[in-house]
Structure 1
Amino acid sequence: MSQADNAPTGLDFLRHGEPVGGSQRYRGQIDDPLSEHGWAQMRQAVAGGRPWTRIVSSPLMRCRAFAEELAVAMGLELEFDERLKEVGFGVWEGRTRAEISAATPGALERFRADPLQQRPEGAEPLGEFLARVGRACTDLVTRHAGEQVLVVCHAGVMRAVFHHALQVPLAAIYDIQVRNAEFSRFRHENGRYTLLGHGLKALPVDRGR
């Protein structure tokens, strides 16, 4: 086993900025790009510390385009992982919370109370979503041991990381607030994850590890 295999691995998960059409829609896997405001949010988020050795991104455009820009600016390797796509929301895709509540009163409340069983019609099964994100996390800490990796992804993916890394119960994952262009920072060491920060608008200049 190499020295890198024993070294702590840093994972900085960054949610994409505001997409075109705003953030009140359940877009799931609809491939909307970032709005001008979303671009500004993302550029501001990475204006401070940039400790990364590589970038991994969801292939959806609201993540991909910024990851490509940043990788070029920093001269870093960039890879895309299909497993980091947002969860699919079925018939809710493209609809606002207000539209869903008007069409099906109480549906959002039932979903938040029981996200496993009260999913919208045609939605990706939550267990399958959590499993694919968990596999992506395991691959990240295995393949990039000892590195500091920036992961550009989605709110749902970041909630799934909390479940995978910290065993947050399924019933509670939608109680975790994940805002646009904010970080969650984890360290993986000796087979365990440690949460170093959540809801971070920027990172310190040092690696913070």
Structure 2
Amino acid sequence: MPTRVVLVRHAQSEFNARHLIQGQLDPPLDDVGLEQLRVGAPRAASEHSDASRVYTSDLSRASTTARAIADALNVDVIADVRLRERHLGNLQGLPRAELKDAEPSAYAAWKSRDPNQTIPGGGECGREVDERLCDFFREIARDGPQKVIAVTHGGVLGRVFSGGRNGDEKRLCGMRRGVGNLAECVIDVDVDGSWRCEYATWASGRFLESTALDADDASSRAALSGAPLACPSRASRASASRSRVRVHADASDDLARKATVLTDDLKAMKTTMPTIRRVVAGNRNDLKALSLYQDALEGKVPTDYDDVSKLEKTLDDLASYVEQRAEEEQFWANREGKVTSSVVDDTNLTEDEKREVASILGNVVTWGVQGATWNALILLIGFVSLVTFVLPNQ
């Protein structure tokens, strides 16, 4: 039997809130992230109470998240550098919206589909991330069938998503989903280090769903320490609700800006508004998500915890779609560039390659001329037949 690994993305960090690229920089969790832990860590522990261990990236945003879950499970935390975020070189610390202009070569390398493409400034290539992940999975699978939790990062989860042996099942996601903070992704790992993804439940945000939110501050702290939960009073639930609204109100303006930036990016890619709305509403035609998105474009942002969480998830999905479109455009631009440079700048071609290109172009011209000649001949025959046989009989 394979080893089941529940991969969890860390809670929200200060850089997440400011839309800065993190890579292997080490910003701490912000107030929203700490609130996410107080709500979601006990739920994660309850859902996976049979997990024997909790592994974590050694970066603080992940290790703080892992510690909260492990305390609720009453198990140890094991830090492992192989779960670190991908090193993003010169992009680290920059605002996401400025990457393309500030570091064009590093940005292009980051978006490249070539697994061997390193990012300038000491960044990793995708293959290096894959290798350390495979090595980690191989090691834990050698201990025999079990369930473990591993807290890691969005870029790492992107590599896991792409590398599943059952990649033909990605369609179960409906689209490539963005992985929100404290979302879970489940995989089954074999002894050779390969894995299969549970694509149907990929990026589940159930730890932060509304059913997990009816706990006041004191009972949340008790849950994180492993103590039994007391039933909160109506007054304490109201107090906790106000606290959650206060925490998320500061992030709301960022959400409105993010919605506008993403929409502008898609419009620049000549994506129509009906298509954008379909991405937002998803396969289930989520009208609530669509309504929140349209309000955000007008600067109207929610303060209710559930609505903020839904809008965050909606924008994560939209960001993933933007990234996917950008990757596709980059792929075709690179391909077109290679073809053009091969024809125009023939100094890179050997003599044999030059003759081959000339032959191909010559054939294209010949086929074009021959095609035009045959078309003209057919029209001429038709005209002669009309004049000779049809018109005299009228």
Whether TM exceeds 0.5 here: the answer is yes
* Cα drift, residue 158 of structure 1: 1.4
Task: Figure out how many residues of one structure are paired with residues of the other and give that number.
Answer: 191
- Name which of structure 1's ranges 145-154 and 65-74 shifts more when overlaid on structure 2: 65-74
* Cα drift, residue 68 of structure 1: 1.9
What 5-or-longer segments of structure 2 have no aligned partner?
A: 168-175, 208-394
State the distance in 1 between where 2:120 and 2:37 align.
30
Q: 1:105 to 1:29 in 2, by over 3 A?
A: closer
Q: 1:187 to 1:45 in 2, by over 3 A?
A: farther
Q: 1:190 to 1:55 in 2, by over 3 A?
A: closer
Q: TM-score, normalised by structure 2?
A: 0.44
The residue number in structure 2 matching 1:201 is 205
* Cα drift, residue 78 of structure 1: 1.7
- Mapping of residues 32-181 of structure 1, within 5 Å: 32-48=27-43, 49-51=47-49, 52-104=51-103, 108=107, 111-114=110-113, 116=115, 117=117, 119-143=119-143, 145-166=144-165, 177-181=178-182
Larger RCO (CA within 8 A; separation ≥ 6)? 1
Q: 1:104 to 1:93 in 2, by over 3 A?
A: closer
* Cα drift, residue 129 of structure 1: 2.0
The residue number in structure 1 matching 2:16 is 22
The structure with the greater share of residues assigned to helix is 2
The structure with the greater share of residues assigned to strand is 1
Amino acid paired to 1:194: R
State the distance in 2 between where 1:28 and 1:59 align.
13
Amino acid paired to 2:33: G
State the distance in 2 between where 1:190 and 1:63 align.
25
Q: TM-score, normalised by structure 1?
A: 0.78
What secondary structure sits across from 1:25 in the alignment? Answer: coil
After superposition, give the CA deviation of every residue in 1:159-195 in whole Å (9 maximum; x if it has no partner): 2223444376xxxxxx662222111011236866332
The residue number in structure 1 matching 2:26 is 31
After superposition, give the CA deviation of every residue in 1:42-76 in whole Å (9 maximum; x if it has no partner): 34333431332210000100011221233223211
Q: 1:69 to 1:179 in 2, by over 3 A?
A: closer
Amino acid paired to 1:199: A
Q: 1:114 to 1:190 in 2, by over 3 A?
A: closer
Maintained 8 Å contact 2:66/2:151: yes
After superposition, give the CA deviation of every residue in 1:83-133 in whole Å (9 maximum; x if it has no partner): 111111111111111222332458646632435437343312332222111
What 5-or-longer segments of structure 1 have no aligned partner?
A: 1-6, 169-174, 204-209
What secondary structure sits across from 2:202 in the alignment? Answer: strand
State the distance in 2 between where 1:166 and 1:33 align.
34
State the distance in 2 between where 1:166 and 1:83 align.
20
- Name which of structure 1's ranges 159-168 and 82-91 shifts more when overlaid on structure 2: 159-168
Maintained 8 Å contact 1:45/1:182: no
What secondary structure sits across from 1:26 in the alignment? Answer: coil
